[in-house]
Structure 1
Amino acid sequence: MNPADMPSTLAVGALHGDDVAPFSSRGMTTWELPEGYGRIKPDLLAPGTRLLGAKRGGGCTSMSGTSVASPVASAAAALLAGALLASPGADGLLGAPILKQALIDGATRLERRSAFEQGGGALSVSKSLRALLTSLSPKLSSLPAEIDLRGCTADGAPLDGSAFLWPLCAQPLFYSSAPLLLNLTLLYSGLAPPSNLTRPPMWVGASEEDAQMLEVRFETHDATLGVGIVATPASVRLEEAVVRGEIIIEAASTRSDGSAALLSLSVPTAVRVVRPPPRHRRLLWDMRHSISYPPAYVPRDWLEGANEASADDMLDREGDHPHTNFRGAFAHLRSRGYVVEVLGCALTAINASEYGALLLVDPEDAFSAAEVAKLSRDVREAGLSLVVLAEWYSEAVARKLAFYDDEARGWRTPITGGANVPALNLALAPFGIAFSEHLVLSGELRVGERTVAVRSATAIDGFPAGGYIVRAPMLIDEAPRSTGVGASTARDVPMLGLLQLGGGGGAPRGRLAVFGDSSFADEHKPHASAEASAVKPVHHMMWLLDSMVDFAASGVRDERLFAAATRLDSSLLRASNGSTDADALGLLAPYSRAARADECLPLRLCCGTMNEAARCGPFLRAGREGAERADGSLAAARRGRAAPSIAAPRRRAPSADVPVEACVVGPVCVVLAASLLARFCARRPTRQARWCSRQLQGCSCCRTWLLCRRLWLRCWPSARWRLPL
């Protein structure tokens, strides 16, 4: 776990000339995934290549690295501290917060890099000094200082000099789209952090029409303000527009004499809003079933050099998000006119009729029974298609990758393989599709003159009749070598499967495109040079992603691909008995979200964190007509009125926005759980009182408030934490 990811720290990246050094880590942070969105890290860049330093034994040597850049930033902070101490009227202001604010506010922005690569920009001591001494009274600022999402072309490419908020600007908002989520890093100068907001943050539209186009929600954390932006039904009448406004934040801090200081900040916003695109152009990328390090030990997706690699090098730490290591695939799909939305809720929460295809890319988590049933219905009855990119899986290999953690003083074993293939097989079982649970394949798949590198992949182990299979003539099975035995050869290996479900009854049927590897779309490459690791992925292999997505979302066939495929006259039966346990290694449970798969379903816009609630709302709407009834208040957005704040979501008052369906389902869920919950709390009235409070207050914004209150009093009749009427 990198301490630089902490909100209160100053994370320093490395500069190479006037650009980001190839070895410098990029953001975003991944702690907030999948429900939320990562924060901007690093905070700024400092020179970090070929700097002269003392050499052991005398003399000087040239050094490079972020460990070299950090002392440069520390030296700059020391210079600023000295200047502050020498300034009259600065008594009591010196501290880490004001120095961090000055360093970031005075940084010089790099035009060709996003905020997630450079933070505030390159270190500039002179600008930081001016920013520091301009005003010696407490003040509030943010990173980014503005939310301007106009810096991308229509196909998602960043404009020259306007890449700062890419990939957030890569696609516009529209009604029924997933919310735009981002985090503002709050920077302050004063003796106390501005943790006490004098009033909830609010978004003010530049005009009455602008105010009706967007709904903006907030959630406050320790030095971070979470922002969620949703397009309202009123935006449907716009062909394309830029909605402008500002976010107003007011907080209280402390002056050097102990008196209170009121801090105010205005963050300008400019958001592109368009009409909803056609269904076949909308893709949904599943992040709900992705688990990464930290905290879980999830092994990386390739095993080349695993025997020689260090334990740290075996961790899957990049998030598998379309804005992190799959950002090249995201940019490629956007360049072809697709809209790629990210799903942080369970599959039970999606409105399948809105999307052309669901992308399951390298999933590590299990799928609940409700999710499997919902997925089957969506594909067979609602016309949703699937694009599946799996990864290697082998219990024997996973156990071989265990290592002793000196810090934790214990052994760490992977919770699954490169992907959780048993869980994926359970999800695909209704369609008769399965992947191998013991192969780790590498080599090359060739289709005519086009090739795709296969690296530590799995193979298709089961496929229904009528489908098409593309086979690799020969691949190397690395599983024996990874366990200490020589590698073996696998021939005529089914790697790619394409299936059109049969029609009937007039209901639209979906299509499935499955492949045993995701590495061809992954930017992170093993043993790459520093320069190679910083470039875009190998685009000559993106033809496979194009073919799979076009077939799934639109039914467009790549003739060269189908010419190389074999149509199955009979089902391809599994060569081995697969596991029926998605947690075959017995280590997944502490990190799995499968038990919470239905948490969004009855709650709609009420419970959960801001990011979770904001994501769930649009997916749960059963169509635009139902959405307009459910969100009638959205069309009446008011200029200057504070947006609904859910900084403390489990204590919210009843919401008028909750649809009638939620009020029907809510009491059923509460009544079913009431007796067990009350009995549990009655047996543990002291130790579990706060837990009981959290569970019952979780439904505070549903229409079953009075029922919940009665259940609460039954659970803990003498509690001090009374629920309000």
Structure 2
Amino acid sequence: MRRLLLCAALAAATQTERVLVRFDDYASSEKHRATVSRKLGPEGRHWASADRRRRHPTDFLALHLTRGARRALRTFRVDLDRSTLKPLWRNLTQAQARYKVIVAPGKEASETWHHGERGQNSTIAIFDTGLRSNHPHFPKQPDERINWTSERTLADTFGHGTFIASVVAGISEECPGFAPSSSLRIHKVFTNQQVSYTSWFLDAFNYLLYKGDVDVINLSVGGPDFADRPFGDKVKEIVASGITLVSAMGNDGPAWGTLNAPGDAVEVIGVGASEADSGRVAAISSRGFPLGDRIPRMKPDYVAPGMGVLGAIPGGASCSPNHGTSVASPSVAGVAALVVSAARRAGTSIKNPAMVRQCLNEASTSTSESMWAQGFGRINSLKAVQCAETYTPRVTLVPPSFHLEKDCPYLSPLCDQPLIRGGLPISFNVTVLNGLGVLGRVTDLQWASDSSLVVEAQYPVTLWPFAGAFAVRIRASPDASIGVHTGKLWVRVDSNEKTCSDASSDGRWVAWEISVEIAAKPDKRKRLLWDASHSLTYPPSFSPRDNLNQNADLLDWNGDLPYTNFRGLFRRLRSRGYHIDVWYEDLSCINLDEYGALLLVDAEDIYSQDEIQAVHAGGTSLFIVADWADAALREQARFFDDNTQVAWEPAVGGANVVELNKVLKPFDVALGGGAWEGALPQAFGAGSRFESGSVIARAPVGSYVVKTRLEKRVSLKRGGTVKVEAPQAVLAAVSSDKGRAVVFGDTGCLDDWKRTGRACWELLEASVAFAVSGVRSPAIFPDGARLQEPLVIGEVPLDTPPSPLLKKYSRHYDASPPYVADPPPKPQVCGARDMRAVETRDEGWSPV
């Protein structure tokens, strides 16, 4: 046994990972490799280069490292060389039955061309799958074609790169590009099998930084990994150099919480897809705020035609239709090139991505849909060019105002319910576009309004590159008057040579108008609290999908919030008069007595002893919705990433049943785990299904337990279920002196993401009504479901110490009761430590 353990340890130590080692300076690859050699010894045993030959300076190396060697480089910045970005288009034939309008969006720029602007003073780089030489849509050969991939050809047999390049700068009369006279640079960063690495993008980015002659980059790619630090840091550096970066937002609509990186970054222009004829947001276009922020920030920035768009094909002169945000992004990149060219023609010599965005903002028209689906809407290229011709540097805020009571549904879901007097605040991230320079700073905020609205904000904040964001919280004071209240948040931005010093400098003030409806505090039975602090999603953790029947996504990455993939649930409860607050902190930091019920939906994280005590101290009612929990299936969900040479292991299953059972213990209710699926009772919602859930194993006498026949999943392979004759308990409702609790084993019929059956809104409404008031729906909880003896079915998962992965990703582990050999818990700190109260001035106050 000892020898086996030693062999296993040696195998782990010699297993290699493909990583990026980043340096603080730009130098030749040879110099950086010499630095690594001095630390690890000669190349060969512990490390090997994964680099391509390059002639330009670099600030990173791509290496294959053993784990032991990676530990030896712990003083360096070492990250996985990831492969999460994918081209974002779909074949038109999938949508032909419902959408048959075919358009060439470049023709929208005909007025701009007649105005004299065709992009002749701009240079655009396309990062994609390449472009063949001598393509008829590009008779003037691209100025540069470079292959950064492992393939030996620049040709594009996949077709994505060819199509995108034509929408930006093609000259075909049938499907012209927006900027046909621009200079075009082709950078192949995807193979024709759609494989890519972060290192290939970094090489291409560094080359552009070295050359310094590109104005706009189009990235018709995306993925859920907003935490790819090397990629994100390099994107900031690219924009800081004056390059405007445009990216697609994803094709996972109409579900919310589906925005892709890098388009969700504050410094990147993110583009969604619209229907060409109606202008409405296309159903496929991703929606919802950027999940890396945890506080809503406006994205996407714009929409452009993304359905039935005509573009070039690799093998001929004809045009062919495609759709997706991939084909919408190059439209905006083309307009951005027109803006840059117009500014240069008007005498502007400095590259300014903030100017580009400010002109695009002024030239856009939105529809009545939410800004988290469309941003500023569709762009008029002529208006954008005219803005650039007369541009003066300025600071602008995004969105320009925040009128919650009248700009609905544009500000939905934040405008879907009023502020409550003395209740939780509305939180929002305001984007600042700094046309004054690459570096700026929000140095002061002043709030001009009456005392009914209290504003807190995160400042001072550095604005780099050319943009940034700061968080704002708006709350109604306990003695606020009922009705609509208005005010102006004055924002001061400094942006000059004194920005980073202590010396005084002149600042620019800009006003952000706010209007909010304040309502009286509703009856406790109409107030619900959503626990958002116990959801673990990708990134950073490998949280496996909740619905094991769908294989399109291996990861749970949609946020699990009422504003994202549970938006349908949120809207249903709002339509029934409930007010839903979302809580992102420890449950011991809020007065739970204010709420009729606490909603624990798809919780994966640990519940500390303090939280459990807080929940039960005042008899808080619960509505708990779980998901699958099966150790064998979790093991099967592990996979080895051939690209990065890393094994991905789930930190937990669909839900953390062990922790939920701790919360449920005072009610004598316990989930049994497993992964069960099948049809739900008709009363729950016609056509609704139990998709991959945990069954209920324990419940006390007098509780209501609803059972149905299900199949148990024993394998992740297709057909990996077995029939079980005995009906399984899927829903339980308990009322006791401890309070009330409703437990349902699966989120599948409540989650908008990849739902295979119909929604179970009847179940939702009945469960919440029982939790808040004890009112029982006979259709959902029939008389025959009342237990005459305790429910005891199968085993209950054992309470074992959290796994190392769960400890790593948990937000609450430090506050949990220590297991054997664990360090003592850290004290829980309540409240956002980076938020400050903004000084309130008289309503008419102005600094200018």
TM-score, structure 1 as length reference = 0.73
Classify 1:218/1:305 alpha carbon distance in 2 versus 1 (closer, same or farther; 3 Å). closer
Residue 42, structure 1, aligned to residue 300, structure 2: yes
Per-residue CA deviation, residues 17-40 of structure 1 (Å, 9 max, x unaligned), is 21112221112111123xxx1322
CA separation of 1:14/1:213 partners in 2, compared to 1, >3 Å: closer, same or farther?
closer
Partner of 2:805: 587
What runs of 5+ residues in structure 2 fail to find an aligned partner?
1-224, 226-260, 498-503, 817-824
- The counterpart of 1:120, out of the listed 345, 365, 376, is 376
Contact 1:211/1:638 (CA < 8 Å) preserved in 2? no
Matched, 1:421 2:674: no
Structure 1 residue runs without a partner (length 5+): 153-161, 503-508, 528-536, 615-633, 644-725
Residues 1:45 and 1:449: Cα distance change in structure 2 (over 3 Å): closer
Residue 608 (structure 2) aligns with: 368
Residues in 1 aligned to 2:684 and 2:581: alpha-carbon distance in whole angstroms: 33
Q: How much has 1:163 moved relative to structure 2?
A: 1.3
1:410 aligns with 2:410: no
CA distance in 1, matches of 2:285, 2:598: 33
Alignment of 1:578-657 (within 5 A): 578-581=797-800, 583=802, 586-597=804-815, 608-610=833-835, 638-639=841-842
1:126 Cα shift? 2.2
Alignment of 1:138 with 2:393, yes or no, is yes
The structural deviation recorded for 1:253 is: 2.2
Residues 340-368 of structure 1: per-residue CA shift (max 9 Å, x gap): 00011111112122110000001011111
Q: Is the 8 A contact 1:114 1:165 kept in 2?
A: yes
- Across the two proteins, how many residue pairs are aligned to each other? 566
The CA deviation at 1:66 is: 1.3
Structural mapping, 1:138-287, within 5 Å: 138-151=393-406, 162-194=408-440, 196-197=441-442, 199-205=443-449, 210-219=450-459, 220=461, 222=463, 223-235=468-480, 238=481, 240-254=482-496, 262-287=507-532
CA contact (8 A) 1:400 1:483 kept: no
**SS class of match (2:365):** coil
- Which of 545, 568, 584 is the aligned partner of 1:300? 545
Match of 2:787 in 1: 568
When you count strand as a share of all residues, which structure comes out higher?
2
Partner of 2:752: 523
Q: Residue 109 of structure 1 aligns with which residue?
A: 366
Equivalent runs, 1:517-556 vs 2, <5 Å: 517-525=746-754, 538=758, 541-556=760-775
What aligned pairs does 1:404-553 form with structure 2 within 5 A after superposition?
404-447=640-683, 452-472=688-708, 474-480=709-715, 482=717, 486-502=721-737, 509-525=738-754, 538=758, 541-553=760-772
1:347 aligns with 2:587: yes
Query: Once the 2 structures are TM-superposed, how far is the Cα of residue 127 of structure 1 from its aligned partner?
Result: 2.7
Is 1:129 aligned to 2:364, yes or no? no
CA positional deviation for 1:544: 0.6
Letter in structure 1 aligned against 2:420:
F
Rate the CA distance shift 1:448–1:365 in 2: closer, same or farther, 3 A. Answer: closer
Letter in 2 for 1:170: D
RMSD between superposed Cα atoms in Å:
2.9
SS at match of 1:11: strand
Q: Secondary structure at the match of 2:603?
A: coil
Residues 446 and 840, structure 2, Cα contact 8 Å, conserved in 1: no
50, 58, 78: which one aligns with 2:337: 78
TM-score norm. by structure 2 comes to: 0.63
Aligned partner of 2:283 in structure 1 is: 22
Shift of 1:304: 1.0
Q: What's the secondary structure of 2:705's corresponding residue?
A: strand
Is 1:138–1:190's contact at 8 Å kept on the other side of the alignment?
yes
> C-alpha separation between the residues in 1 aligned to 2:307 and 2:804?
45
Structure-2 separation of matches of 1:602 and 1:402: 33
Change (3 A) 1:149 1:373: same
Give the alignment of 1:369-384 within 5 angstroms.
369-379=609-619, 384=620
Any idea what SS the aligned residue of 2:617 has? helix
- CA offset at residue 294 of structure 1? 1.2
* One-letter amino acid matched to 2:588: T
Q: What secondary structure sits across from 2:297 in the alignment?
A: coil
Q: CA 1:128 to 1:596, structure 2 compared with 1: closer, same or farther past 3 Å?
A: farther
- Aligned AA for 1:99? V
- Give the 3 Å change call, closer, same or farther, for CA 359–490 of structure 1 in structure 2: farther
User: How do 1:32-71 residues align onto structure 2 when only pairs under 5 Å count?
Assistant: 32-33=293-294, 37-58=295-316, 59-71=318-330
Shift of 1:640: 6.9
Q: How far did 1:261 drift?
A: 7.0
Contact 1:5 1:11 in 2 (8 A): yes
Q: Report if the CA contact (8 A) 1:201-1:218 is conserved.
A: no
1:391 deviates by 0.7
Contact 1:31–1:38 (CA<8 Å) still a contact in 2?
Answer: no
Instruction: Determine if contact 1:177/1:231 at 8 Å carries over to the other structure.
Output: yes
Aligned residue identity for 1:571: P
Give, in whole Å, the separation in 2 of the partners of 1:519 and 1:485.
18
> What is the letter of the counterpart of residue 145 of structure 1?
P
The answer as to whether partners of 1:440 and 1:479 remain within 8 angstroms in 2 is: no
Give the deviation of 1:43 after TM superposition: 1.2
Q: Distance in 1 between matches of 2:528 and 2:423?
A: 11
Distance in 2 separating the partners of 1:434 and 1:264: 57
C-alpha deviation, 1:511, in angstroms: 0.9
Superposed CA offset, 1:216-262 (max 9, x none): 43343640021111111221xx3x3111011111112249xxx9874
Can you list the C-alpha shifts for 1:398-423, whole angstroms capped at 9, x where unaligned? 12112223454301111111111122
Shift of 1:562: 2.9
Q: Which has the higher relative contact order, 1 or 2, with Cα contacts under 8 A spaced 6 or more apart?
A: 1
Give me the whole-angstrom Cα distance separating, in 2, the residues matched to 1:549 and 1:408: 45
1:3 Cα deviation from its structure 2 partner: 1.6
Q: Is the 8 A contact 1:202 1:642 kept in 2?
A: no
Change (3 A) 1:29 1:437: same
Contact 2:586 2:830 in 1 (8 A): no
Q: How far is 1:376 from its partner?
A: 2.4
Q: Return the structure number with greater helix share.
A: 1
CA contact (8 A) 1:149 1:168 kept: yes
- Whichever of the two has the greater Rg, that structure is 2
Q: Aligned equivalents of 2:420 and 2:396: distance in 1? A: 29
Residues 21, 329 of structure 1: CA spacing in aligned structure 2 closer, same or farther, 3 A cutoff? same
Instruction: Measure, in 1, the Cα distance between the counterparts of 2:624 and 2:281.
Output: 34
The offset of 1:394, in angstroms, is: 0.9
